[in-house]
Amino acid sequence: MFENVIKNDVTAAVLERRTIREYTPEMLTDAQLDTVMAAAMMAPSGRNSQPCHVRFIKNSDILKEMQIDFKNIVGWDTPVHTRSDKNPFYHNAPVFAAIFAEGASYMDAGIMVENICIAAKGLGLGTCIVASVGALFEDADKGAKWRRAIDIPEGYRFLIGVAIGNPDEKPEQKPRDESHYKVIE
């Protein structure tokens, strides 16, 4: 890590965040959920266009059903979808936030999802950003069903999701390549 890093609550949340794929069953408190929702809403967007609609799904029956539909679409033994070899969708977290947008607002969705992750970390929560579940929401049949069920406006696409909950593991930091970062004097 770079030599002169300043540690405060904000930088600690950024630097110490790790992807969490094991969660306790404990639900987020209302205050925790409101705080991560506020962090999502306050994310910057190009020209303040606010292109994203986000659904914080905390209903475990819905999440379980979604996961079954997802696995029926991608297959129950597809390596890319079994990275955690348990629940590659929401990793058994109590909340899954699904970010949808009109058009290709990948940048705005990406900034928003990181806002959620950092705010969650600041609250002692863990997160796992999940792109692979896109196949569910893009499926002509099941995707349309779920987009309707969670009230996604017509024409909006799933861009990224994030599992949120109380961590039940302490993963090591994943390697980073410092050579990608250079100061030009």
Ligand X SMILES: Cc1cc2nc3c(=O)[nH]c(=O)nc-3n(C[C@H](O)[C@H](O)[C@H](O)COP(=O)(O)O)c2cc1C
Shorter beta-carbon distance to ligand X: residue 61 or 85: 85
As measured in angstroms, the least distance from the Cβ of 154 to ligand X is 25
Shorter beta-carbon distance to ligand X: residue 37 or 135: 135
Shorter beta-carbon distance to ligand X: residue 47 or 170: 170
Q: How many helices (H) and strands (E) does the chain have?
A: 6, 4
Residue 66: φ, ψ to 5°: -60, -45
As measured in angstroms, the least distance from the Cβ of 21 to ligand X is 6
* DSSP 8-class letter at 86: S
Nearest CA to 162 out of 9, 33, 5, 29 is that of 33
β-sheet with 52-57: strand ranges across:
52-57, 95-102, 156-165, 126-130
As measured in angstroms, the least distance from the Cβ of 131 to ligand X is 4
Shorter beta-carbon distance to ligand X: residue 80 or 184: 80
- Greatest CA span in the chain, whole angstroms? 56
Shorter beta-carbon distance to ligand X: residue 19 or 60: 19
Alpha helices in 2-130 (DSSP H): 9-16, 30-41, 60-74, 106-122
As measured in angstroms, the least distance from the Cβ of 50 to ligand X is 20
> Rounded CA gap, 154 and 177, in Å?
41
Shorter beta-carbon distance to ligand X: residue 20 or 152: 20
Residues found near ligand X in the complex (CB under 6 A): 18-19, 21, 83-84, 128-132, 174
Angle CA 159–49–89, to nearest 5: 15
As measured in angstroms, the least distance from the Cβ of 54 to ligand X is 16
As measured in angstroms, the least distance from the Cβ of 184 to ligand X is 26
